[in-house]
Structure 1
Amino acid sequence: MKMQLVAMAAVLVGGLSVAGPATAQDAATVRVGTLAATPQPINPAKEFVGRIEARERVDVRARVTGFLQDVLFEDGQTVKEGDLLYRIEPEPFQAALSRAQGALDQARGQSAYADQQYARAEELLKTQTGTAATRDQRLAEQLTAKGNVQIGEANVQTAQIDLGYTEIKSPISGLIGRTAVTKGNVVGPDRGVLTTIVSQDPMHVIIPVSQREFLKLKSDDRTAAKQELTALIRFSDGSAYDHPGKIDFIDVSVDRATDSVTMRAEVANPNGRLIDGQLVKVTIELEKPVEKILVPQSALLADQQGFYVFVVEDGKAAVRRVTLGREVNMNASVETGLSPGDQVIVEGLATVRPGAPVSTYPAPVLPKAS
């Protein structure tokens, strides 16, 4: 950690300044720059490795078998839901529909004839010129004819559906990959994926969190129902992504293979900078900030007892032992050792000794915490 390197480099100067007694030379007034210890809002954060995942992803396949007549998109273009992507040769399916429609008309004619025959058998039975066996036979023929009509209607519907499948349309909006086939090839349900479409905005970030870190998150009450967790993204080159994400899902079980819990964040992607499958670093922050005193890392000194800073007390330099939290920009958060209002010496440390009289001037203000 950078603050540790800075602090260790100051051990010789800092350690000697604490241990050595004040001399006549030390008693000379030293001009130093100070900052008032002021609590600033910061977000407790932890960094994880995450992977970008499209919110919607579709492998486009043919649902009927036939010759591919047209490919109606360019590889890598943006498509909208309902856009026509492929056209399969429709003529065989139109012929199948006509054949099914003809069979249905035949079945309807036979059904109408069976209805008439059954009605005639009923009348003859009432006048005792027909028999019950004949009536029953005509009833069976009527029911069979009605069944054939239903089968014919189903066949027509199936043929219409198959004809509709000759036009393959985009089920979602997003970026389309390259086509795996060109026109003239035979495609079908068992011929593999034709192309892939991934949605672009918003995207998901999948974050595997070890059980150990997950328990820390819970112990800090960061997964309370009424508190939203914020996810900040950085790319592999260290640059920050300018849209924060929100944790919207925490898995209900632990992955036995990795002993981790999967968290998911949703993040806006209006400019398409996030790409499906991309590896990123994710910092999870609590939306509600906590107040911490920050000091520049350049103000930190260290010896065998730990970290300390110089403060001004009654016009003299005094040592304050501190315990530190995490880094925030070029600063360090102080957990204990300083109180609001303490004048921390941040400039002129090279000549400061414990108990030496100092004159102060205001040092430049700390960068705002983020």
Structure 2
Amino acid sequence: MVGGSTKESCFGLVVAAVFIVTVTTSFGAAGQEKETPAKPLPTVTVMPVVSKDIQPSISFTGRVEAIDKVTLRARVDGFLEQRRFSEGQDVKAGDLLYVMEKGQYEAALAQAQGAVESEQAALELANIEVGRLNTLIAKNAAPKAQLDVATAKQKESKARLSQLLAALDKAKLDLGYTDIRAPIAGRIGRSQYSIGNFVGPSSDALATIVSQDPIYVTFSVSQREILAVREKLGSAGKLGDNVNAAIVLVQLADGKQYPEPGKVNFVDVTVDQGTDTVPVRATFPNSDRILIDGQLVNVIVESGTTKTMLLVPQSAIQMDQAGPYALVVDKSNKIEVRRIEPGQVQGADLAVTKGLAAGEMVVTEGVQKVRPGQVVEPVVVKSGS
């Protein structure tokens, strides 16, 4: 009996201990649940919709073209003796660029000059003979047949002299062609031939000169884009009669804008049937030689009048199957979806023509962690920060 009583006592102690541990754990867990803080609101970065006066514009892809571009060629056969320029340098109209061997052409010129002088002497003698016979015939001292022969020789001599004078002119031209000069002002490219090479009219171009300042930028405008230009730019942007009112800007490959604006100076009178586009050309100053012939650029055509537009950062614009939209934080800090109609791009911003109002806060960062109707903690960043 004593042993049984002892076992029962031990069992009771174990049960009591388990009960105490269970109760303590339960109370401890309950205490922890009471101390757990509320889940923080998601933080999003917002920026205000701003209203600005901007110039309506439309973009095209364009290419830089030199106003004048000349390939230098040899017009006579001969060896190159001198090259009087450095590749890539600016040259003026009339500058001496290449010198070819002159010996054979100087000799040909001297020979032609001698033939002319000889024939001039022969013609002078023929003139004297005709004059003398005219005098004798007037006195009935010579037959008229002699005068006819002398007159024929005089005409023959005049004809030979004309031929020899033409040959003399050609000899002078050939000698002049041995000095190859710049026909225009511009920058000269790489020389295709070295000194000592034999060149002639059948050879490839010696070098190319490209005018630099001013310079053209050409771009093609489709029929649809023409309508868009007229709608966005108004009457000032009509291609044709009022093109001078439009301002043409160029954006370079690095994204920077060319500092000098251009002016449209030509709109083609026919449409390219292969591409259904109208070629348009603008003139730009290029004193710093930034624009290079053949360069691909982005062309932005602006009207001369400003228009008030709403601008939002491009990072605030999202896209789904229904189209573009932005997330707006309302006065209660709740997320609201706004469908928008985008306009033209203005640097890092986008013009919005419908769907937003000035001063409203649009989400620019944190879009992926919020949903419509959710309360958020907005962090306002000013536009341009």
TM-score scaled by length of structure 1: 0.74
Report the structure number with the largest CA radius of gyration: 2
Cα deviation code 1:18-68 (max 9, x no counterpart):
xxxxxxxxxxxxxxx9979655132222232x2222221111001111121
Partner-residue secondary structure (3-state), 1:51 = strand
**Partner SS, residue 302 of structure 2:** strand
Cα deviation for residue 108 of structure 1 reads 0.7
Matching residue of 1:84: 96
Alignment of 1:152-171 (within 5 A): 152-171=164-183
Q: Return the structure number with greater relative CO, CA threshold 8 A, min gap 6.
A: 1
How far off is 1:96 after superposition?
0.8
Q: Shift of residue 275 of structure 1?
A: 1.9
Aligned to 1:174: 186
Per the alignment, in what secondary structure is the counterpart of residue 204 of structure 1? strand
- In the TM superposition, 1:302-321 aligns within 5 A as none
For residues 107-186 of structure 1, the aligned pairs below 5 Å read 107-186=119-198
Specify the alignment match of 2:60 in structure 1.
47
Q: Identify the residue that residue 306 of structure 2 maps to in structure 1.
A: 289
CA distance in 2, matches of 1:34, 1:238: 24
2:209 is aligned, of 174, 185, 197, to: 197
Matched, 1:272 2:300: no
1:311, 1:319 within 8 Å by CA — same for their partners in 2?
Answer: no
How far does the alpha carbon of each residue in 1:187-213 deviate from its partner, in whole angstroms, 9 at most, with x for none? 111112111111222222221233332
- Work out whether residues 232 and 245 of structure 1, in 8 Å CA contact, stay in contact via their aligned partners in 2: yes
Q: Is the 8 A contact 1:298 1:346 kept in 2?
A: no
- The aligned counterpart of 2:23 is none
Equivalent position of 1:17 in the other structure? none
**CA offset digits 1:299-356 (Å, max 9, x no partner):** 779997975897999xxxx9998644223234333435678xx6545699999x99xx
Contact 2:325–2:337 (CA under 8 A) maintained in structure 1: no
How far apart are the structure 1 equivalents of 2:316 and 2:257?
A: 27
Structure 1 residue corresponding to 2:241, chosen from 225, 228, 231: 225
Could you tell me how far 1:80 is from its partner in structure 2?
2.2
The structure 1 residue matched to 2:347, chosen from 283, 308, 329, is 329
Matching residue of 2:257: 240
CA contact (8 A) 2:81 2:101 kept: yes
3-state SS of 1:148 partner: helix
Long gaps (5+) in structure 1: 1-32, 355-361
* TM superposition shift of 1:248: 1.5
Residues 270 and 111 from structure 1, CA distance in 2 versus in 1: closer, same or farther, beyond 3 angstroms?
same
The answer (yes or no) to whether the contact 1:312–1:343 under 8 Å persists in 2 is no
Q: 1:94 to 1:306 in 2, by over 3 A?
A: closer
**1:122–1:215 Cα change, 3 Å:** farther
Structure 1 residues 320 and 152, CA gap change in structure 2 (3 angstroms): same
CA distance in 2, matches of 1:247, 1:273: 19
Write the letter of the residue equivalent to 1:283.
I
C-alpha contact (below 8 Å) 1:347/1:363 kept by paired residues: no
* Alpha-carbon distance in structure 1 between the residues aligned to 2:323 and 2:99: 77
Do the aligned partners of residues 227 and 57 (structure 1) sit closer, same or farther apart at CA in structure 2, a change above 3 Å counting?
Answer: closer
Which range moved further: 252-261 or 63-72? 252-261
1:319 and 1:165 map into 2 onto residues whose CA distance is 76
Query: Distance in 2 between the 1:277 and 1:43 partners?
Result: 28
| Counterpart residue identity of residue 327, structure 1 | V
Aligned 1:97-116 pairs, distance under 5 A: 97-116=109-128
Q: Quick one: distance in 2 between partners of 1:286 and 1:113?
A: 78
Residues in 2 aligned to 1:256 and 1:123: alpha-carbon distance in whole angstroms: 77
**8 Å contact 2:57–2:300 — kept in the other structure?**
no
Residues 209-230 of structure 1: per-residue CA shift (max 9 Å, x gap): 3333234335654225234233
Q: Which has the higher helix share?
A: 2
SS of the residue aligned with 1:236? coil
SS of the residue aligned with 1:257?
coil
The question of whether the paired residues in 1 share the 8 Å contact of 2:55 and 2:304 is answered with no
Shift of 1:158: 1.7
TM-score (norm 2): 0.71
Answer yes or no: is the 8 Å Cα contact 2:328–2:363 preserved in 1. no
Task: Tell me if the contact between 1:69 and 1:87 (Cα under 8 Å) persists in the aligned partners.
Answer: yes
Check 1:174–1:302 CA distance in 2 against 1; reply closer, same or farther (3 A cut): closer
Q: Aligned residue for 1:187?
A: 199
| Count of paired positions | 326
Return the letter of the residue paired with 2:242. Answer: K
Looking at structure 2, the residues matched to 63 and 43 of structure 1 have their Cα atoms a distance apart, in angstroms, of 53
Query: Structure 2 CA distance, aligned partners of 1:270 and 1:142?
Result: 62
